[in-house]
Structure formats: C-alpha cells, structure tokens
Amino acid sequence: MDLPFLKEAVSQLFSKTSCQMYPVKPSPAAPRYRGRIVFHPDKCIHCGMCERVCAGGAISTVVEKTEEGDKITRTFNLGSCTFCSHCADFCSTHAIELTDDYHMIATKEEDLFVTGTFIKKPPVKKAAAPKEAPVDATAAEKKKEAAPACASAPRDDGKPVSDPDKCVYCGICAKKCPMEAITVDRANKVWKLDDEKCIACGTCADSCPKKCIIM
C-alpha cells in the first residue's frame, strides 16, 4: 500500500528544525518598524483625538473627579492595536510614540496594556473686566477707529487667537477642533472661541491653511 508523503514525514523526523527558537539572538527591527507604544502622560492634554482615530478601538480612557482636577487614565491595549500609527500622527503634543520594540509576548492580556495617568486641572477663569462708563457715540466711534485692526496678540493662557487680517473664514479650524470650541460665521466674517471648551491642543493652528491662528 502506497501512503502519500510517508517517506517525507519519516525523513523530517530526523532532520533539524528550520525554525529559529525565540529568542536565540536579539536582532534590530526593520527600518521604520512600528512596535510597542510608549505613552507620555505628562505631555497629554486630553483632547481625545487619539481615541477618535484609533482604527482598532484599542484606546480607552477613564476620568475620575478629584479636588485637584480630572484624574485621567489612558490605556492602550496592544492586543487590539493594529500599529497603524494614527494615534501618534494625530497627537499634537507628541505624547504617543511607537518604538521599534517587537518583544510583545505575554501570558496574560494585562501584560499588553500600556497605561498612563495624569491630572488635568480646571481652567483658571479670568476676573470679569470692570464695566466702562457710558460714552457718547462720537467718542466710541473715534475709539474704534484708533484701535488696531489686528487682534493677533498671543494670550497668556496658551489658547488660540485668530488674526482677522489673514483669516478667510473657511471654517476648517472649526471642523478640526476635537472639542467643538470654535465657531465660524462666514457670512458675517466672525471667528469665535468658546473658552470653556477649548483645551489649547493646537489642532486649529496646525490645520489652518492661512496660518492665521496663533497659540
């Protein structure tokens, strides 16, 4: 009786393995290899962009209220990660880094979690400016004419300011803002920022085609 592959099977029993056991000799990763994620919580501003663009749904966030502010814990599950690098590419503060570390063997899922925790303090509210005494229309008009047309002086809290001399009111900054803190009225040429929502992530400035937003 002729058994197919019997001769090949018997010969392989006495031959050396063609596989290299792990790890026999450490070797460098290939150029531009995307491996283990490193998270720098001290750089994170909690804009949530990484979680929005994650293709594998591998990023989760837990927020706890404390006296100091929001205690934010961000977790990256390398077991679900596709290593597409979207999270690192979209991070405006470079808080996420993909290394060339390919040693990601684990016996339990928790060993594949990359976690970082930080405190995000609430924004400091500025005191309301004192009300000015009423003035006549002529004086108000002269004051308006004397004021500079450009209001692009940087703010001391790091939040964006738009230069009206450069802005074309295209609305791209409003579309890209992860917190929906910007509104643009193209018809009336009005650019408005919601201080309560803005987290000073810089996404609006990076996406502005005219570079008219200053952080």
Residues 6+ apart with CB under 8 A from 13: none
pLDDT, tens digit (0-9, with 9 covering 90-100), for 156-193: 777 888 888 888 888 889 888 888 889 988 888 899 88
**pLDDT score, position 19:** 74
Q: What percent of the chain has pLDDT over 70?
A: 82
Mean pLDDT value across the chain: 83
- At residue 137, the pLDDT reads 57
Q: Which residue has the higher pLDDT, 81 or 133?
A: 81
CB 59 within 8 A of CB 50: yes
Q: Quote the pLDDT of residue 72.
A: 94
Report DSSP letters for 40-87, one per residue: -TTT-----HHHHH-TT--EEEEEEE-SSSEEEEEEEETTT-----HH
For residue 148, what pLDDT is reported?
A: 40
Give the bridge partners for 76, in sequence order. Answer: 59, 114
Q: What is the pLDDT of residues 116-162, one digit of tens each?
A: 999 988 766 666 666 666 655 555 555 444 444 344 677 777 788 88
Residue type, 204: C
Measured CA to CA in angstroms, residue 119 lies from 42, 45, 73, 160, 181 at distances of 9, 10, 9, 22, 21
Tell me the CA distances in angstroms from 48 to 15, 51, 54, 60, 87, one per residue in order.
54, 6, 10, 10, 10
191 forms bridges with which residues in the sheet? Answer: 184
The residue-averaged pLDDT of 15-37 equals 81
CA atoms of 175 and 130, how far apart (whole Å): 34
Number of helices (H), then strands (E), in the chain = 6, 9
